[in-house]
Amino acid sequence: MIKGALTASVVGAFLMGGPVIAHPITEAEVIEAQKVWGNGIVEIGKAYSNSGNYEALAAEHVDTLYGYDEGTVLFKPTKAAAHQFRLTEEEALSYFVGGIISEDSGFALQPWSAVRFENAEFITDTDSAIAMGNYFFTDSTTGKEVKVEFTFGYIRGADGKLLINIHHSALPYTAN
């Protein structure tokens, strides 16, 4: 009989080749992932405006920042009505640059000159994190900011980088 604080999962991990050491996701990692996401949105719009290969940038953005290759991703974009949820990588790409879903005009093609996050709070644990707050998109033509509410969930990919597995955003509620 095993005594002490060892659990069956720790013993099992040890027997399978050694202990598994969890590398908890930190708030700093989430903030960095948010910056990378925002910069990617800006770069896609710049490429579109400059007749660059915006579609390849967008495909890389979705492929490297979202966890579609790891499992389920729950994506509810801001400007989606008829097709509210984007559960495949192709549907996510369509939202950002247009494509397979008729209502998609390409959110990232606006173009935006900046994206900034204001986090209300984080939940972090050993293998996931959630951030919720507002993010602000600056229209590169008018300089006006659009405020959007968000909840992003993150998991750690096989390469150690954070991947988005939950993306929910919405325009703030306005009373009639």
Report the predicted TM-score, pTM, of the whole model to 2 decimal places. Answer: 0.86
Element (H, E) at 35: helix 27-49
DSSP state of 82: S
* Residue partners of 23: CB distance under 8 A and separation at least 6: 126, 156, 160
Residue 176 token pair = 């009639």
Share of the chain above pLDDT 90, in %: 83
SS percent in the chain: helix, strand, coil, step 5: 30, 30, 40
What residues are paired with 119 via a beta bridge? 133
Q: What is the mean pLDDT of residues 37-63?
A: 98
Where do the domains of the chain lie, and which CATH numbers do they carry?
Answer: 25-170 (3.10.450.50)
Burial class (CB in 10 A: 0-12, 13-18, 19+), 149: middle
CA 59 to chain centre: 14
pLDDT surpasses 60 at 13: no
Q: What is the mean pLDDT of residues 2-14?
A: 37
Phi/psi for 52 (5° steps) reads -90, -175
What pLDDT digit, counting tens, does each position of 84-93 carry? 999 999 999 9
Grade residue 140 by pLDDT with cuts at 50, 70 and 90. Answer: very high
Burial class (CB in 10 A: 0-12, 13-18, 19+), 159: exposed
Helices marked H in 50-122 = 54-65, 89-97
Distance CA 125, CA 23 (A): 9
Does residue 56 sit in helix, strand or coil?
A: helix
Pairwise pLDDT comparison (8 vs 78), residue with the higher score = 78
φ/ψ bin of 71: left (φ > 0), alpha (ψ from -120 to 50), beta (otherwise) = left
